[in-house]
Structure 1
Amino acid sequence: MSNWKTFGIDAPLVPTLYLLAAVLLFVQGYVLRPAAPIVLEVIAAVIVFVEGGLFLHTTVRGKYRLFDQLIPRLGVKATDQILDLGCGRGALLTRLAGQLEKSGQAVGLDLWHSRDQSHNAAAVTQRNVTALGLTDRVKLVTGDMVALPFSDDQFDVITTSFALHNIHGIQQRQRALQEAVRVLKPGGQLVIIDTGHHAAEYRQILNAAHMDVREAHSLGINGWWSGPWMNSYLVRGVKV
């Protein structure tokens, strides 16, 4: 289930830009001036190329390893009601649904923006769900994380992976997390996997929403979106 051809590439324009920048730096520093190559530009080209390679590693392989390490620790019950916010093409959603019986359900919500993930569309995600034999346990909903179309206290587990940082503005991200807490059952857990520099912000919002934050830490090299300065992290809280 870790096939990037099935679940797509995150921010597909980014690795292309890394590769293009590396080529341009190399050309400028070595090819155009072979008599006096600009060593710093060649070194910069190599660094940019490595950064692009790390990005590709995370989106093609690393993030799936993070998901597979996380799920056994969540203690998902076979009858749980699960919500995956910003589900994309279903990489985490289908893994969670695989933990359920027919009496459980995993709901995937997204606005289906292809700039966030290659070929991101509800029809593509539904095709993946069907191919994995999970149609009886998965429901897809088109909706916005800042205004969830669900009742209060509806879900046992809510997850969101690499989606919150795509919401611009701290007030909007705060609203999205408040909405997630609203639809989470008491005793249920909210799990955030994200990148960017919002980990402290997320902890603060969850604390203000009376969530018991149980975990908040970096996820290591499998979550490096170009390097340790753009890492992935986990924030997990329980509704009290």
Structure 2
Amino acid sequence: MTELSDFVRAGNQGVDPAAYEIENAAIDPDGTLWTHLETVAPWAGRRLLDLGCGSGFWLPRYADAARVIGVEPDPVLLPLAQARPGGAQVLHGSAEHIPLPDDSVDVVHARFAYFFPDPDFDAAPGLHEVQRVLAPGGTLVVIDNDHDDGEFAELLAVSPWAAKQGTGSYILDWWREHGATSEAVLSSWSFETRADLETVLRLEFPADVADPWLRAHRHRLGLSYGYVVHTWRPRGPGRHAA
């Protein structure tokens, strides 16, 4: 398997895929985020790339697409995605090394994968590679955390683990400078059991962050969760220039 220079194992799904499966199942129970994604870049009848698809949880949700492709760098998660029902093609690759031809997809989704720009990490190489594979008129949609709204944002604000995701203001400025539109979407997590909520919060946050919140909300099965959706469309000539 080819070694990918930009591969960094995720500290949540890469550590505990089973717990992250529980997290994925709890996301956006009312469909608020999903409706927004379909609105900004419809994929029905189009070719969609799920970039950094992880274990492939979301691949079946794109059943209306003409073609669904997943790309995943983690050699542990890759076979899980390839075994996911639904008929998607899943390939080994990464944001900077997408194993597809030029102009081969219409919509690219990236959820909490690679695009965490900060002063020490410029995500432009991945953006250029996405630009290469997008057909004219195509769209990149990046799903990110909202650092300002929702209870999850309050936990992020006190978590040392969140530092690797960059600051909200820097991220918004970076996307704005690259011509993207960024919109906040307030949704939630809803779990079937208290044990599931505890498992996921302890996956996402250190104990000294997760446990005080859990003690203060003893009867809760969920929390509010804010997303920021960055929508980017390449414009003008020289689309494939690095």
**Range class of TM-score, shorter chain:** 0.5 to 0.7
CA RMSD of superposed structures (Å): 4.0
CA distance in 2, matches of 1:188, 1:165: 18
1:62 pairs, out of 27, 32, 36, with 27
Give the partner amino acid of 1:197: G
Q: Could you say if the C-alpha distance between residues 170 and 70 of structure 1 is closer, same or farther in structure 2, counting changes exceeding 3 Å?
A: farther
Give the partner amino acid of 1:178: H
Give the partner amino acid of 1:237: W
Q: Secondary structure at the match of 1:124?
A: helix
2:83 pairs, out of 92, 113, 127, with 127
Q: TM-score, normalised by structure 2?
A: 0.56
Percentage of pairs with the same residue: 19
CA distance in 2, matches of 1:181, 1:198: 25
Deviations 1:8-62 (A, max 9, x none): x735569x9xxxxxxxxxxxxxxxxxxxxxxxxxxxxxxxxxxxxxx99854402
Identify unmatched segments of 5+ residues in structure 1: 1-8, 17-54, 115-119
Q: Could you say if the C-alpha distance between residues 107 and 59 of structure 1 is closer, same or farther in structure 2, counting changes exceeding 3 Å?
A: closer
1:181 pairs, out of 131, 137, 140, with 131
CA distance in 2, matches of 1:140, 1:56: 18
Deviations 1:88-127 (A, max 9, x none): 122222212x112xxx21110011255xxxxx2x322222
1:90 pairs, out of 52, 56, 60, with 56
Q: Which residue of 2 aligns with 1:236?
A: 231
Q: Do residues 109 (structure 1) and 78 (structure 2) align?
A: no
Whose relative contact order is higher, 1 or 2, with alpha carbons under 8 Å and at least 6 apart? 2
Q: Which residue of 2 aligns with 1:149?
A: 99
Q: Secondary structure at the match of 2:126?
A: helix
Deviations 1:154-210 (A, max 9, x none): 22101101212579984452211221123222321111012333555555554555x
Identify unmatched segments of 5+ residues in structure 2: 1-11, 146-164, 191-200, 205-209, 214-222, 236-242
Q: TM-score, normalised by structure 1?
A: 0.56
Cα distance, 1:217 vs structure 2: 2.1
Aligned residues: 176
Please identify the structure whose Cα radius of gyration is greater.
Answer: 1
Give the partner amino acid of 2:98: L
Give the partner amino acid of 1:108: G
CA distance in 1, matches of 2:189, 2:113: 17
CA distance in 2, matches of 1:219, 1:199: 15
Higher helix proportion = 1
> 1:81–1:157: 8 Å Cα contact kept in structure 2?
yes
Cα distance, 1:85 vs structure 2: 0.7
Q: Could you say if the C-alpha distance between residues 75 and 56 of structure 1 is closer, same or farther in structure 2, counting changes exceeding 3 Å?
A: closer
